[in-house]
């Protein structure tokens, strides 16, 4: 009896939706180059004058199961999955705000009430659930006493307060929620979970019963809570179609006699579309008023419907889209989608979006010309939705590549200018900024550095800053100076804030494919923005610029904000000091210095950084007079080998437990004060409250002190002359090393004693070789005064913007203990807490899978005052040069992976940092 669609495999007929949930990485790059945020699409083009544009991928959200249904409210994306959960994402931050344990079977249909207070979900478990969209609790669970099979679709009439469902057993059924108190109580045994299942429970050949499929261990649980409602047998339309009821929607203004009246439209496996009148006086009962057929003898199944005004669009299995005029009930157009079977249709902004088996979205204009085609998913696209969010046209797709993609389709409607400096605009500018390969350490990218600098300068100029490129000694990258003048009426009290940052980045090649995408095209995934430099330091710079502009737009910028953004920080700020000294007058006076180039201690608690270590980088070279030799032919005890000499002097630098043996090295270092000790116990207390697995607070404090307030030495690499084989005695051997310095040590003095020490140790070897020590670059340590006004203002801003900090106890978080066990270290020597042990799991693994055991706890609202082990050469220099105190706001989280593969910044950290800067630029008092 049923007219099953092509890829049928019993029992549901939608097997194709249900298997193949094996995660595969979508590889196609859907982002665009910086020259144009919108690029021409090759191939078939609309005849219209408008150029074809590919929508910009705003964000991709990953899950571990197929996405079968989507609906978008003004604040959230709701996604129904093959595993029965309904995922809820914030449209502002793309954070996953909830995972609703929705159903025991695949979620096949979703819809919202008109006021968006209610969410309806239908599923393969034969149940329709009704959810509160504020707290995601279940209000009702509706079931039929019939064996309805899969419930493919659900619609809700807000006027009649009636839920309509379309099912596999060809029926349409309905429930008027106003009658929930007057209808008889359901009997517990008639609920589907207690009934025999026609497919699973009937005896097979030989009379053997197939056991019922159980949800996997740890998988979605049955939803709980709310009232159970039974569909009355009288509120059912059997054989609504001669096939499965695949899709349904409610439309208004179709019936000419009453334009406000709603009608129900359903599409079925029989290839027919039916229009139904709703009988308000009779419990919302449906009466067929029309039947739309395209004249084929055997219709292909209608899988999806969309309506816009009085036009109805229907999508079929073979890539066919029919356009119907609902006023005349005529088929006005027959489109052939390039996208293979059409599984989902959406309309909005004057466009029709079709998608399906090929993973391609095809966009038609009102003349039914193809405007764009783009690969949205690697595999099937199973669901889509269109919504105008904050005046922004947004298109969302979901597929069996287990991802949801959010597209900016802003060419649909031009956004009003008042929204132009929204966070989305900030992210677009950041995307362009990231696209410049501003790698300062590689001369090949000198041109890219220049272009990146001039792009940034154009951002400043567009926002009305007076800008200047400060030249540095060739070949170093220029420094950008940009001045935003505060309200001239306040000239006497106008304070001057200097924001320091750097536009250069660490190299990222992605030759081994370890990056999740191209490091130089910003990629939004699971609430995080990925790209080289996004956290160090391009994202924070962009947030600060937009914050100044926010104040300008509100006419609330009373201070002068001066940006100094250099392009050599990752190479030790070459040329910066001279450039600043040569332009002192142009830069002018400064009251406060602010920078934002570090990270929180973990992924949850906001921090303020008041100290950084200094650093000196040195190269130690031993050269002999003889050429590269062969160890068999020439090796002899009489020969002074360069690599051996080098190792012998390097070995003198360090004693047991990392003690540096350079005489006088530790002398200037001050002992820890009582106040500082208190800060450490505050930090460990807070960290342990959030991550109790971190263990002993004393060990944790010691490991932090080692990184923040104690010096360290690292030998980075060796280099030798000659061919790379094991018989060579190299003529020359070289090592590069660095020393991290702490307050009260000065880099010049340490450079001197290091050089002297190496030479005196080398002399003891009485070698014929020559030793050369070169200091490559150096940076002074910095210790800020965290009692001053700028820290106080930052602290208040952080508390306002971040609010109470939720502490998540994530069971999967790596702990000190488990890390040391994994590496087989003995308990007597604990491994130090590193940024990765404090981060909430590694970057790649995070985001997929959720922690059911997590219990939100509220931690102290105050930011943690921390120091950092890293260095920023310019900060102490700027303090001295301008006689102004500096403060450091870390924007990123511990898991940002700066300098590593997959550097990222949480979108929420970016936008909240913008708010914090805004408050600080506004509220900072005069010194
Ligand atoms: N953002 C870092 C500094 C930093 C590192 C802060 C770790 C907090 C934690 C900066 O961009 C950087 O990489 N600095 C270099 C400076 C060096 C090249 C002179 C560093 O620390 O190695
Ligand atoms: Mn860096």
Measured in angstroms, how far is the CA atom of residue 597 from the centroid of ligand 2? 8
DSSP 712-755: EEEEEEEEE-S-SSTTEE-SEEEEEEEEEE-TT--HHHHHHHHH
For the cut 60, the answer to whether the pLDDT of residue 95 exceeds it is yes
Which pLDDT score is estimated for 307?
A: 94
Q: Is 169 helix (H, G, I), strand (E, B) or coil?
A: coil
Which pLDDT score is estimated for 202?
A: 54
For the cut 90, the answer to whether the pLDDT of residue 912 exceeds it is yes
Q: Closest ligand 1 atom to the C-alpha of 898?
A: 1
Least confident of 370-384, 403-417, 499-513, 722-736: 403-417
Decide which of 471 and 819 is more confident.
Answer: 471
Which pLDDT score is estimated for 105?
A: 94
Look at residues 321, 340, 339 and name the one whose alpha carbon lies nearest to residue 331. Answer: 321
Q: Given the DSSP bridges, would you call strands 172-176 and 236-237 parallel, antiparallel or unpaired? A: antiparallel
The overall longest dimension of the chain from CA atoms, in Å, is 110
Q: Is the CB of 614 under 6 A from ligand 1?
A: no
> What residue owns the CA closest to ligand 1's atom 13?
570
Which pLDDT score is estimated for 408?
A: 87
Give mean pLDDT, residues 547-569. Answer: 96
For the cut 90, the answer to whether the pLDDT of residue 422 exceeds it is no
Which pLDDT score is estimated for 96?
A: 96
Q: Is the CB of 778 under 6 A from ligand 1?
A: no
For the cut 50, the answer to whether the pLDDT of residue 825 exceeds it is no
State the pLDDT confidence band at 188, using cuts at 50, 70 and 90: low
For 373, phi then psi, to 5°, come to -130, 135
CB within 8 Å of 123: residues ≥ 6 apart: 80, 84, 102, 103, 104, 105, 106, 107, 108, 109, 129, 150, 151
Look at residues 744, 863, 841, 737 and name the one whose alpha carbon lies nearest to residue 792. Answer: 863
Measured in angstroms, how far is the CA atom of residue 86 from the centroid of ligand 2? 39
For the cut 50, the answer to whether the pLDDT of residue 432 exceeds it is yes
Least confident of 48-52, 266-270, 465-469: 48-52
Q: Is the CB of 872 under 6 A from ligand 1?
A: yes
Which pLDDT score is estimated for 195?
A: 62
Kindly tell me the burial class for residue 671, based on how many C-beta atoms sit within 10 Å of its own C-beta (0-12, 13-18, 19 or more): exposed
pLDDT tens-place string over residues 129-173: 999 999 999 999 999 988 999 999 999 999 999 999 999 999 999
Measured in angstroms, how far is the CA atom of residue 812 from the centroid of ligand 2? 28
DSSP 293-330: --S-SSPPPEEEEEEETTEEEEEETTSEEEEEETTTTE
State the pLDDT confidence band at 23, using cuts at 50, 70 and 90: very low
Tokens of 403: 């991802």
Tokens 């979205």, located at residue: 361
Q: Closest ligand 1 atom to the C-alpha of 779?
A: 19
CB within 8 Å of 292: residues ≥ 6 apart: 272, 273, 274, 275, 312, 314, 324, 329, 331
Decide which of 45 and 902 is more confident.
Answer: 902
875 CA to centre of own chain:
30
Which pLDDT score is estimated for 207?
A: 59
Domain 614-782, what fold? Alpha-Beta Plaits (3.30.70)
pTM listed for this prediction: 0.83
Which pLDDT score is estimated for 722?
A: 94
Which range has highest mean pLDDT (222-226, 307-311, 400-404, 688-692)?
400-404
Which ligand is closest to the CA of 873, given by its number? 1
635 CA to centre of own chain:
57
**Percent of the chain whose pLDDT exceeds 70:** 83
Give mean pLDDT, residues 255-273. Answer: 87
> What residue owns the CA closest to ligand 1's atom 16?
871
Which pLDDT score is estimated for 32?
A: 30
Q: Is the CB of 896 under 6 A from ligand 1?
A: no
Least confident of 15-19, 124-128, 443-447, 830-834: 15-19
Give mean pLDDT, residues 574-596. Answer: 97
Give mean pLDDT, residues 431-445. Answer: 97
Which range has highest mean pLDDT (54-58, 147-151, 315-319, 691-695)?
147-151
> What residue owns the CA closest to ligand 1's atom 15?
871
Architecture of the domain whose range is 426-597+872-926 = 3-Layer(aba) Sandwich (3.40)
Supply angle C-alpha 245, 247, 253, rounded to 5. Answer: 120
Give mean pLDDT, residues 214-233. Answer: 69
Look at residues 345, 323, 314, 313 and name the one whose alpha carbon lies nearest to residue 70. Answer: 345
Question: What is the Cα–Cα distance from 579 to 478, expressed in whole angstroms?
Answer: 8
What average pLDDT is seen over the chain?
Answer: 85
Tokens of 24: 């595969």
Contact 373, 360 (CB under 8 A): yes
Q: Closest ligand 1 atom to the C-alpha of 571?
A: 18
Supply angle C-alpha 387, 392, 398, rounded to 5. Answer: 45
Question: What is the Cα–Cα distance from 737 to 712, expressed in whole angstroms?
Answer: 11
Q: Is the peptide bond before 728 cis (omega within 30 degrees of 0)?
A: no
* Count of CA atoms in the C-beta half-sphere (13 A) of 465: 25
State the pLDDT confidence band at 390, using cuts at 50, 70 and 90: confident
Distances from the Cα of 704 to the Cαs of 127, 501, 698, 835, 869, in angstroms? Answer: 53, 25, 10, 10, 9
Measured in angstroms, how far is the CA atom of residue 536 from the centroid of ligand 1? 9
Pocket test for ligand 1, best of 597, 711, 835 (most atoms within 8 A of CB): 597
Look at residues 645, 663, 655, 506 and name the one whose alpha carbon lies nearest to residue 570. Answer: 506
Tokens of 38: 């919108």
Question: What is the Cα–Cα distance from 363 to 904, expressed in whole angstroms?
Answer: 32
Measured in angstroms, how far is the CA atom of residue 505 from the centroid of ligand 2? 7
For the cut 70, the answer to whether the pLDDT of residue 857 exceeds it is no
Contact 921, 561 (CB under 8 A): yes
Domain 15-45+79-87+95-185+218-348, what fold? Methylamine Dehydrogenase; Chain H (2.130.10)
Give mean pLDDT, residues 244-259. Answer: 86
Q: Is the CB of 570 under 6 A from ligand 1?
A: yes
Contact 333, 323 (CB under 8 A): yes
Question: What is the Cα–Cα distance from 614 to 722, expressed in whole angstroms?
Answer: 35
Which pLDDT score is estimated for 201?
A: 52
CB within 8 Å of 791: residues ≥ 6 apart: 608, 610, 784, 785, 865, 887
Least confident of 354-358, 396-400, 416-420, 766-770: 416-420
Question: CA gyration radius for the chain?
Answer: 33
Where b means 16+ CB within 10 Å and e means fewer, 52-87 reads bbbbbbbbbbbbebbbbbbbbbeebbbbbbbbbbbb
| Residue ranges per structural domain of the chain | 15-45+79-87+95-185+218-348, 426-597+872-926, 614-782
Which pLDDT score is estimated for 433?
A: 98
For 220, phi then psi, to 5°, come to -60, 140
Which ligand is closest to the CA of 779, given by its number? 1
Question: What is the Cα–Cα distance from 706 to 687, expressed in whole angstroms?
Answer: 17
Q: Is the CB of 597 under 6 A from ligand 1?
A: yes
For the cut 70, the answer to whether the pLDDT of residue 603 exceeds it is yes
Which ligand is closest to the CA of 877, given by its number? 1
Question: What is the Cα–Cα distance from 236 to 520, expressed in whole angstroms?
Answer: 56
pLDDT tens-place string over residues 735-773: 999 999 999 999 999 999 999 999 999 999 999 999 999
Look at residues 512, 511, 546, 517 and name the one whose alpha carbon lies nearest to residue 531. Answer: 517
Which pLDDT score is estimated for 350?
A: 85
Contact 380, 400 (CB under 8 A): yes
Q: Is the CB of 539 under 6 A from ligand 1?
A: no
Decide which of 240 and 38 is more confident.
Answer: 240
Which pLDDT score is estimated for 1?
A: 34
Q: Is 205 helix (H, G, I), strand (E, B) or coil?
A: helix
For the cut 90, the answer to whether the pLDDT of residue 9 exceeds it is no
Measured in angstroms, how far is the CA atom of residue 600 from the centroid of ligand 1? 14
Which pLDDT score is estimated for 51?
A: 52
Which ligand is closest to the CA of 714, given by its number? 1
Decide which of 17 and 179 is more confident.
Answer: 179
**Percent of the chain whose pLDDT exceeds 90:** 69
* Count of CA atoms in the C-beta half-sphere (13 A) of 388: 12
Distances from the Cα of 586 to the Cαs of 470, 485, 579, 621, 873, in angstroms? Answer: 10, 13, 11, 42, 22
State the pLDDT confidence band at 669, using cuts at 50, 70 and 90: very high
User: SS3 letters for 239-274?
Assistant: CCCCCCEEEEEEEECCCCCCCCCEEEEEEECCCCEE
- DSSP one-letter code for 469: E
Which pLDDT score is estimated for 221?
A: 52
For the cut 60, the answer to whether the pLDDT of residue 817 exceeds it is no
Question: What is the Cα–Cα distance from 492 to 352, expressed in whole angstroms?
Answer: 58
Question: What is the Cα–Cα distance from 296 to 331, expressed in whole angstroms?
Answer: 12
Q: Is the CB of 780 under 6 A from ligand 1?
A: no
Give mean pLDDT, residues 626-637. Answer: 93
Pocket test for ligand 1, best of 441, 598, 871, 892 (most atoms within 8 A of CB): 871
Measured in angstroms, how far is the CA atom of residue 871 from the centroid of ligand 2? 9
Q: Is the CB of 536 under 6 A from ligand 1?
A: yes
Question: What is the Cα–Cα distance from 220 to 889, expressed in whole angstroms?
Answer: 40
Give mean pLDDT, residues 321-338. Answer: 89
Give mean pLDDT, residues 778-789. Answer: 95
């Amino acid at each position: 009896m049923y007219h099953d669609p092509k890829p049928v495999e019993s029992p549901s007929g939608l097997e194709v939706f249900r298997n193949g949930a094996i995660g595969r990485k979508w590889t196609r790059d859907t982002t665009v180059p910086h020259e144009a945020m919108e690029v021409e699409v090759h191939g078939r083009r609309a005849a219209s004058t408008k150029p074809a544009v590919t929508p910009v991928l705003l964000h991709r959200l990953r899950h571990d199961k197929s996405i079968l249904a989507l609906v978008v409210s003004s604040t959230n994306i709701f996604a129904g999955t093959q595993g029965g959960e309904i995922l809820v994402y914030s449209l502002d931050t793309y954070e996953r705000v909830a995972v609703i344990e929705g159903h025991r079977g695949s979620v096949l249909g979703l819809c919202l009430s008109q006021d968006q207070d209610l969410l309806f979900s239908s599923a393969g478990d034969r149940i329709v659930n009704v959810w509160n969209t504020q707290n995601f609790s279940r209000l009702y669970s509706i079931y039929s006493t019939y064996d309805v099979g899969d419930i493919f679709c659900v619609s809700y009439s807000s006027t009649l307060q009636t839920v309509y469902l379309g099912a596999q057993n060809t029926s349409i059924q309905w429930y008027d929620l106003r009658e929930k108190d007057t209808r008889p109580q359901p009997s517990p045994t008639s609920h589907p979970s207690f009934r025999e299942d026609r497919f699973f429970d009937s005896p097979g050949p030989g009379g053997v019963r197939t056991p019922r499929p159980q949800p996997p261990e740890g998988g979605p649980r049955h939803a709980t809570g709310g009232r159970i409602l039974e569909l009355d047998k009288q509120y059912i339309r059997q054989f609504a179609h001669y096939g499965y009821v695949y899709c349904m929607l409610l439309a208004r203004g179709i019936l000419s006699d009453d334009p406000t009246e709603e009608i129900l439209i359903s599409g079925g496996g029989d290839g027919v579309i039916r229009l139904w009148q709703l009988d308000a006086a009779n419990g919302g009962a449906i009466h067929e008023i029309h039947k739309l057929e395209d004249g084929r003898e055997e219709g292909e199944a209608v899988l999806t419907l969309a309506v816009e005004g009085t036009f109805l669009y229907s999508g079929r299995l073979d890539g066919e889209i029919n356009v119907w005029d609902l006023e005349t009930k005529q088929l006005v157009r027959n489109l052939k989608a390039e996208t293979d079977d059409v599984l989902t249709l959406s309309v909005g902004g004057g466009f029709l979006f079709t998608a399906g088996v090929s993973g391609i979205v095809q966009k038609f204009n009102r003349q039914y010309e193809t405007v764009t085609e783009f690969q949205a998913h690697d595999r099937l696209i199973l669901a889509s939705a269109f919504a105008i969010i904050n005046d922004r046209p947004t298109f969302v797709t979901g597929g069996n590549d287990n991802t949801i993609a959010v597209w900016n389709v802003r060419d649909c409607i031009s956004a009003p200018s008042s929204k132009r400096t929204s966070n989305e605009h900030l992210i677009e500018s950041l995307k362009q900024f990231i696209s410049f390969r501003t790698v300062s350490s590689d001369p090949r990218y000198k041109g890219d550095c220049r272009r990146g600098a001039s792009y940034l300068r154009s951002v400043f100029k567009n926002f009305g800053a007076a800008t200047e490129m400060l030249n540095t000694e060739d070949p170093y990258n220029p420094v950008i100076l940009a001045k935003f003048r505060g309200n001239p009426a306040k000239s006497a009290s106008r304070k001057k804030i200097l924001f320091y940052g750097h536009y250069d980045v660490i190299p990222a090649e992605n030759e081994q494919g370890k990056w999740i995408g191209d490091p130089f095209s910003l990629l939004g995934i699971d609430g995080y923005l990925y790209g080289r430099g996004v956290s160090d330091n391009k994202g924070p710079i962009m947030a600060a610029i937009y914050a100044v502009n926010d104040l300008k737009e509100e006419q609330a910028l009373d201070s002068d904000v001066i940006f100094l953004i250099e392009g050599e920080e990752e190479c030790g700020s070459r040329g910066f000091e001279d450039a600043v000294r040569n332009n002192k007058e142009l830069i002018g006076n400064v009251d406060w210095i602010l920078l934002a180039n570090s990270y929180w201690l973990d992924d949850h608690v906001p921090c303020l950084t008041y100290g950084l270590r200094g650093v000196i980088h040195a190269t130690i070279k031993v050269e002999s007079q003889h050429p590269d030799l062969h160890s068999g032919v020439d090796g002899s005890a009489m020969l002074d080998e360069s690599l051996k000499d080098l190792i012998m002097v390097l070995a003198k630098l360090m004693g047991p437990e990392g003690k540096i043996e350079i005489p006088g090295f530790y002398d200037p270092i001050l002992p820890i004060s009582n106040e500082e000790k208190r800060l450490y116990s505050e930090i460990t207390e807070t960290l342990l409250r959030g991550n109790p697995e971190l263990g002993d607070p004393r060990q944790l404090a010691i490991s932090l002190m080692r990184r923040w307030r104690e010096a360290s030495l690292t030998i980075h690499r060796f280099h030798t002359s000659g061919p790379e084989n094991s018989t060579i005695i190299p003529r020359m051997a070289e090592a590069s090393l660095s020393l991290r310095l702490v307050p009260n040590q000065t880099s010049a003095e340490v450079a001197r004693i290091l050089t002297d020490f190496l030479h005196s140790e080398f002399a003891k070897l009485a070698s014929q070789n020559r030793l050369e020590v070169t200091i490559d670059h150096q940076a002074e340590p910095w210790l800020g005064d965290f009692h001053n006004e700028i820290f106080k203002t930052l602290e208040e801003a952080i508390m306002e913007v971040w609010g109470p900090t939720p502490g998540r106890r994530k069971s999967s978080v790596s702990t000190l203990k488990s890390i040391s066990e994994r590496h087989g270290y003995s308990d007597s020597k604990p491994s130090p807490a590193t940024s990765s042990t404090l981060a909430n799991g590694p970057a790649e693994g995070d985001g997929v899978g959720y922690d059911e055991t997590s219990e939100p706890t509220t931690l102290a609202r105050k930011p943690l005052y921390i120091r950092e082990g890293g260095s920023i050469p310019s900060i102490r220099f700027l303090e001295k040069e301008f006689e102004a105190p500096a403060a450091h706001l870390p924007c990123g989280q511990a898991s940002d992976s700066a300098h590593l593969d997959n550097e990222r910044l949480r979108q929420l950290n970016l936008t909240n940092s913008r708010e914090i800067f805004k408050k600080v630029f506004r509220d900072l008092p005069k010194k």
